[in-house]
Each structure stands twice: as C-alpha cells, then as structure tokens.
C-alpha cells in the first residue's frame, strides 16, 4: 500500500469510530489518507480527530467556498487511487444509488471515475429492507465493491447482519482492490502477488451415475471454489478451475475444465499439474455405483428392496498431496463438518497430507451450504485461526492473500 492514496468518506453511524482505526492502519502501511466526513459522520467522530490521524485537513462540506476554491470535489476524487466509504450508511448507499450530490461526500462519489469500496453499517432491519436490497443490487451492478457487513450484536441492542466490517477486513479488501487495479483480472499479469504462479482449484460436486438418469452427488453449489478461482486470477495467477456440474457462470480469465465424475476430476486435476498452489474445494462424492447400469433401472414392485453396491472413489486431495516432484508447494483442502469441526478438520489435515485445511461448519442452520456467506477456521501446522463470518468472495480473497504470502515466505527461505 506504500504510496497509495485513499480518500476515506466517513458516514454518520456509530461504526465511524472504527474508521479512525482504519486510518491508523492505512498510514502504518505507507498509504496517504484524506478524509471527508459527512454532516452525520461529524456527529460521531470529529473532523479534528480525522485531521490529526490523516495529517491532512478533513473535508466537511461542499459549500465551504474556501475549500472548493483550494481543492474542489473533482480534485479530491482525481487525486485518489481508491475511495473507501466507511461506514456506508443506508442513507449514503441510497444517495449513491440515485446519484444525489447534495454534499461534498456524495458530490465526490458522483464525480469520480475511481473504484469505490463501501463498508455498509446499519441496523439489521434497514439492511434487510427491500429498498436497501434494491440499492445494493444497483450499486453492485454499477461496479461498487463491498466489504461486510458482519453479523453480531448491534449498538441498538439487536442482533443480526449490519455491523461494519472490522478494520482488518476493510484493509484486506483495500489491498485486494489496489492489487486488482494494477491487474484487472488479466491472466498472468506481471503485477499481482501471484503473477507467474499457477493455481489449481477443484470446485462443485461430482455426479456419479447409477444409470442413465440417476446419480449420486453432494450438495455443493461451487460458489466457494469459483470465488477462489476469481480471487486467484485477481492476484495475477494463471488459474485452472476443474469443476463438477454447477449453475454458475465461468469465472473470467481462468482455464475451465468441466467434469462430471470423481475419476474425471482426478484425471483433469493431474493433467493440470504442475501448480504452485492447489486448493481442493470440490465436494467429491465418496462413492460411486459399483455397477453402473447401461439402462434405466426399473422398480420391481412396492415392497421389494433394491440393493445398490457402492465402490469408493479416489481421493483427489490425498493423491496430489503425496510427496514427489509434482506436488504443489502449497496444498489446501476443505473440511465441511457438522460436528466436532476443529478436531475432525485437524485430523483430516494430517490424514490427507494437506498443508492447510479450511474448516467450515455446514450444519444446516449455518446457511453455509449453497449460501453466500461462511465462517471458516484455517488450520495450518502452527495452529487454528478463527476467521469472522465473511462472504465466500471475501473468504476466497483472504485465503489467496495468505497463500501468496506463504509462497513468498517459502521463496525467501529457499534463497
């Protein structure tokens, strides 16, 4: 982030205090920060605190003629690499959606051609309101990026989604966007932290035919695996995504290999080696029908039980984790568990031979299965890290950023 220029817009919400921490962390990383605080924002943090931390005047109002003459809203936007809105209140998001520009913050947001990252913060019911859902969809279609909100206890005493993302998560999203700006999803771009690296990802379920019309499969949407492929491409990697049948668009800038069965997935995965990083996010069916019928099996009457013989499928993660010259330097598996999550996932890391395991609780109530958010624990040889609930895109970005760091640490250690 060294030398990057962030324009921070602080909206009016209790989460504004976290923005002060965000400024400190950005400055520690060598970024320069300019702040605009809305009228509502100034009720929660003073322009003076922001000026002290940013070491620049904090801007407050479009109609301060002196400021406009010295540095107008156009220049504020032009002189930034990224605009961050934190907290982004429901009101600010609504104004952004409709292109209102009745104060300095909204005028800058309307005038800018820079990327904008918003960290929403509001009461859970405001977040869930159809108006906010509509605004969010419009802003996403306009290319606005989002981080959070998180789920948890709210200042108003309620519980739910609406808490502003923590400064660490916002910082991570800023890093990702500044990296992505240098390499807008181009494969093998020379600038991203994974440029020149090959990343192999398995995603989705496999389908194991019983007969021409029936199959055995797992409940997997492929959302997490596809998000990982996008995140790796955004960091400049050359990505191969081996995917079972899913109802998702092919991510931009990755080599897609579409398969159906575990055997096909194994063959495609081995064919895509060598790779620097392999992430097995697919929910591979553990069993297949031992004798696939060439014809549709017929019911034989109401009371007659039919036996289905099963044969075990090959374990792709175990196969590619085996030591040898073609083993990727970092192999990451997933463990979806409904009980004893950490214990089972830790045992799985060892038994599968993976370097890291991403453990997630898929108990039906969590909504992780098929949903857009997930809460994971990263299990590495040095222990267990509990990550906050994040969207699958954010989880993917965070995991790939960690993997990129781990690879460069391995390279430095080897030098």
- Residues contributing to the site for ligand C5P (CB under 6 A): 202, 262, 280-282, 284, 286, 313, 315-317, 333-335, 348
Residue 9 vs 354, nearer CB to ligand C5P: 354
Residue 215 vs 334, nearer CB to ligand C5P: 334
Supply the minimum distance, in Å, between the C-beta of residue 350 and ligand C5P.
12
Supply the minimum distance, in Å, between the C-beta of residue 390 and ligand C5P.
19
Under the phi-then-psi rule, with left for phi > 0, alpha for psi from -120 to 50, and beta for the rest, what region is 324?
left
Residue 84 vs 280, nearer CB to ligand C5P: 280
Instruction: Check whether the bond before 405 is cis (ω within 30° of 0).
Output: no
Residue 128 vs 338, nearer CB to ligand C5P: 338
Supply the minimum distance, in Å, between the C-beta of residue 395 and ligand C5P.
14
Residues 6+ apart with CB under 8 A from 93: 118, 120, 132, 135, 136, 139
Residue 163 vs 392, nearer CB to ligand C5P: 392
Residue 186 vs 273, nearer CB to ligand C5P: 273
Partner residues linked to 32 by β-bridges: 5
User: What are all long-range contacts of 209-214, with beta carbons under 8 Å and residues at least 24 apart?
Assistant: 209/260, 209/261, 209/288, 209/289, 209/292, 210/289, 210/292, 210/293, 210/297, 210/308, 211/289, 211/292, 211/293, 211/294, 211/295, 211/296, 211/297, 212/293, 212/294, 212/295, 212/296, 213/296, 214/296, 214/297
- For residues 210 and 308, the answer to whether their CB atoms sit within 8 Å is yes
- For residues 291 and 309, the answer to whether their CB atoms sit within 8 Å is yes
- For residues 173 and 400, the answer to whether their CB atoms sit within 8 Å is no
Give, rounded to a whole angstrom, the gap between the first and last alpha carbons of the chain: 25
Residue 103 vs 361, nearer CB to ligand C5P: 361
Residues 83, 130: Cα–Cα separation, whole Å: 26
Supply the minimum distance, in Å, between the C-beta of residue 332 and ligand C5P.
8
**Residue with tokens 């290999």, as numbered in its chain:** 257
Instruction: Check whether the bond before 274 is cis (ω within 30° of 0).
Output: yes
Supply the minimum distance, in Å, between the C-beta of residue 226 and ligand C5P.
14
Catalytic residues: 156
Supply the minimum distance, in Å, between the C-beta of residue 284 and ligand C5P.
3
Supply the minimum distance, in Å, between the C-beta of residue 24 and ligand C5P.
38
Which of the 8 DSSP states describes residue 365? G
Residues 177, 4: Cα–Cα separation, whole Å: 11
């Amino acid at each position: 982030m060294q030398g990057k220029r962030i324009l921070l817009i602080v909206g009016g919400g209790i989460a504004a205090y976290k923005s002060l921490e965000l400024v400190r962390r950005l400055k520690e990383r060598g970024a320069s920060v300019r702040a605009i605080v809305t009228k509502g924002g100034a009720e929660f943090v003073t322009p003076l605190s922001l000026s002290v931390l940013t070491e620049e005047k904090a801007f407050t109002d479009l109609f301060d003629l002196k400021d406009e003459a010295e540095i107008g809203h156009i220049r504020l936007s032009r002189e930034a690499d990224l605009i961050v809105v934190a907290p982004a209140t429901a009101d600010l998001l609504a104004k952004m959606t409709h292109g209102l520009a009745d104060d300095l913050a909204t005028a800058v947001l309307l005038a800018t051609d820079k990327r904008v990252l918003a960290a929403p913060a509001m009461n859970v019911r405001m977040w869930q309101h159809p108006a906010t859902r509509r605004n969010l969809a419009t802003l996403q279609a306009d290319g606005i990026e989002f981080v959070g909100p998180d789920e948890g206890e709210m200042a108003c005493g309620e519980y739910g989604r609406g808490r502003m993302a923590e400064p660490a998560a916002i910082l991570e999203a800023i890093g990702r966007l500044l990296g992505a700006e240098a390499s807008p999803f181009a494969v093998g771009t020379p600038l991203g932290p994974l440029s020149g690296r090959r990343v192999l990802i398995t995603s989705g379920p496999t389908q194991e035919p019983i007969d021409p019309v029936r199959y055995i499969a797992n409940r997997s949407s492929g959302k997490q695996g596809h998000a990982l492929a996008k995140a790796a491409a955004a960091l400049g990697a050359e990505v191969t995504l081996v995917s079972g049948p899913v109802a998702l668009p092919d991510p931009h800038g990755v080599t897609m290999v579409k398969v159906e069965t575990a055997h096909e997935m194994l063959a495609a995965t081995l064919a895509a080696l060598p790779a620097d990083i392999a992430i097995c996010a697919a929910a591979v069916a553990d069993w297949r029908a031992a004798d696939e019928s060439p014809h549709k099996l017929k019911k034989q009457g109401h009371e007659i039980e039919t036996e289905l013989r099963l044969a075990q499928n090959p374990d792709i993660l175990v196969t590619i984790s085996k030591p040898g010259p073609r083993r990727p330097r970092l192999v990451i598996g997933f463990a979806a568990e409904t009980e004893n999550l950490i214990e089972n996932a830790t045992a799985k890391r060892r038994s599968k031979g993976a370097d890291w395991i991403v453990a997630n609780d898929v108990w039906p109530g969590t909504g992780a299965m098929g949903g857009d958010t997930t809460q994971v624990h990263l299990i590495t040889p040095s222990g267990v890290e509990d990550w906050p609930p994040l969207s699958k895109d954010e989880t993917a970005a965070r995991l790939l950023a960690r993997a990129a760091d781990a690879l460069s640490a391995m390279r430095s250690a080897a030098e």
